[in-house]
Amino acid sequence: MFLRTAVVAEPGETRRRVGSALNDVESISVNLPSIEELLALLNQRSIDLVVVDEALLPSDDHGFIKAVRDRPDPPQVVIVGLESAPMRRATLTASGCLAVISDSVDEAVFQDCFRAVAQRRLDEADAGFREVPDDEYSLADYVTASPRMRKFLRDARRAASSDSTVLLFGETGVGKGLLARSLHNESTRLGPFVSVSCGALTPTLIESELFGHDRGAFTGADRDRRGYFELAHRGTLFLDEIGELPLPLQAKLLTVLEEREVRPLGSEERVPVDVRFIAATNRDLQKDVADGRFREDLYYRLAVMGLSLPALRERPEDIPEIAQSYVDHHRALAHSDVASISAGALECLVRYPWPGNIRELANAIERGVIVGTKAEIQVTDLPNAIQAHSTDASAATALPSNWHQVPWREVRQRVLDETERKYLSEVLRVSSGRIRVAAKRAGMAPRSLTEKMKKYGLRKEDFRSVSEPSSRS
């Protein structure tokens, strides 16, 4: 999901800084010269984040921010400027503004602060986009015909009923975040579920985000702020991508796990926290321990209950039901007439190895629902890498329905292009997406193969074997 951002600022430094920060965030951004144009835009479309240069704020700035926040589909508001500390505090507390970032801080601090705010709003928007409320996820939602998955769910139910620390293992896209939320919902914890991605935060911000900080702890810290540990008090803190946590912070995390206290940056006081920890990783943490990249004592402290979520390719019998559930979900959102999946398309889905797991399947079905013109998703509605696993040659060739009325030259070119695309997809598949290996198999130069991949929209990442994450082209 993209963050929809409106920036109200004159051409110049503020626009440049905000635009630079948004380059690292999945965002669709529009620049506006005035508050009037912003209000007109908000009447036309939904916006997730509004960024306003302090110089363009109306005289009744608090009233303006409250009016924006009182809209039926309210965006969050960030103000850039406001050098006065009392004005910053008033803007944050009285008007419902999400953040105030001083434009006098240096470039690195500005970029880090804005990216953190934008990513937090993106996470909020993505959570609001989901059809099922967060508190309704449960292990009962996992319907499976796979013996391996059934055993996993039995272990997960035991973990949910305890208060022990849990470490979730699994490839990217298998659904570790939703599983963590389900474990929290089925536990006895009455507090909130707080999720933080250790890999999404910069080293300069992650300590402040986790532990909180006192006013003046570092440049730009103009007010006290509670960290994720405190926000999760009496609830669950989910630390995703735990393997990306820097070594110095691993030591601090171990201390929190053992002492159940945190000390915010710039503070001498320790704050007690009652938190259940769930961590997740797609890395081989035991190898990281052997290589000195992850603390051994922290690994064993986290892995009191270790759960390995099976990859989608390891339970192909579940693919039809999961795929249909995404059809039902996305057709309602897109107001589409697509209601099911054709036999040929379903065969492709079952045969495909799914390096991106559930997340990739959801994206493929969403695409099929959007581009599909029939009541069923067809093979040709799926991404090219998945189409390559069809055994239906006529579907893969996809001649025009009125081919007998089309000049022979056009029909021939269509057949050649589709055959070449399918051939290259298969070569890339058996080569695990490695360009040089695939080019050698095909008897062509790597550069020629790359150009043809661009022509057909083929990406090496879609064919890369998950068992060879470090292979290079």
Report the CATH number at residue 419: 1.10.10
| 225-241: pLDDT as tens digits | 678 888 888 889 999 99
CATH number at residue 231: 3.40.50.300
Domain identity same for 10 and 144:
no
Looking at this protein, which amino acid is placed at residue 376?
E
* Residues 195 and 284 reside in one and the same domain: yes
pLDDT reported for residue 170: 93
Say how many C-beta atoms besides its own lie within 10 A of residue 288's C-beta.
16
Q: What is the pLDDT of residues 155-206, one digit of tens each?
A: 999 999 889 999 999 998 899 999 999 999 999 888 889 888 888 777 767 8
The 10s digit of each residue's pLDDT in 312-346 is 989 988 999 999 999 998 888 878 889 999 988 99
Query: Do the Cβ atoms of 301 and 254 come closer than 8 Å?
Result: yes
Sequence-distant (≥ 6) Cβ neighbours of residue 282 within 8 angstroms: 169, 170, 171, 172, 176, 241, 243
256-to-224, 229, 233, 252 alpha-carbon distances in Å? 20, 9, 13, 6
139 and 284 share a domain? yes
Out of 277, 310, 343, a domain closes at 310
Domain check: are 153 and 270 in the same one? Answer: yes
Residue 234: what pLDDT? 85
pLDDT value at residue 290 = 95
The answer to whether the beta carbons of residues 452 and 446 sit under 8 Å apart is: no
User: Is pLDDT of 126 > 50?
Assistant: yes
Q: Which of 120, 115, 104 is nearest to 220 (CA)?
A: 104
Same domain? 178 vs 298: yes
pLDDT at 442: 85
Sorted by sequence, the CB contacts under 8 Å of residue 275 that are 6+ apart come out as 229, 232, 233, 234, 235, 236, 237, 260
Return the structure tokens found at 122.
């993106």
Tell me which of 129, 160, 179 is where a domain ends. 129
Tell me if 287 sits within 8 A of 299, measured CB to CB: no
Residues 301 and 160 in one domain: yes
In this structure, the answer to whether residues 279 and 154 fall within a common structural domain is yes
Residues 435 and 427: their CA atoms lie apart, in Å, by: 10
**End-of-domain residue from the set 349, 366, 398:** 398
- Do 125 and 138 have their domain in common? no
More confident residue, 467 or 31: 31
Instruction: Residue 135: name the closest of 173, 192, 176 by CA.
Output: 192
* Together in a domain, 304 and 324: no
Give residue 470's pLDDT band: very low, low, confident or very high (50, 70, 90): very low
pLDDT of residue 131: 39
Say which CATH number the domain at 349 has: 1.10.8.60
- 317/258 same-domain check: no
Range of the domain at 424: 406-473
Q: What does each C-alpha distance from 466 to 18, 87, 201 come to in angstroms?
A: 36, 52, 25
Domain count, the chain: 4
How would you list the strands of the sheet with 76-80, edge to edge?
27-32, 3-8, 49-53, 76-80, 99-101
Q: What percent of the chain has pLDDT over 70?
A: 84
- Do residues 159 and 301 both lie within one domain? yes
Average confidence score pLDDT of the chain: 82
Contact at 8 Å (CB) between 8 and 49? no
> Angle at which helices 147-161 and 176-185 pack, to 10 degrees?
40
Judge if 290 and 320 occupy the same domain.
no
Higher pLDDT, 93 or 76: 76
pLDDT band at 222 (very low <50, low <70, confident <90, very high): low
CB 180 within 8 A of CB 238: yes
Cβ atoms 388, 429 nearer than 8 A: yes
75 and 47 Cβ atoms separated by less than 8 Å: yes
Q: State CA 258 to chain mean position distance.
A: 30
List CB contacts of 58: < 8 A, sequence separation 6 or more: 35, 64
CATH number of the CATH domain containing 108: 3.40.50.2300
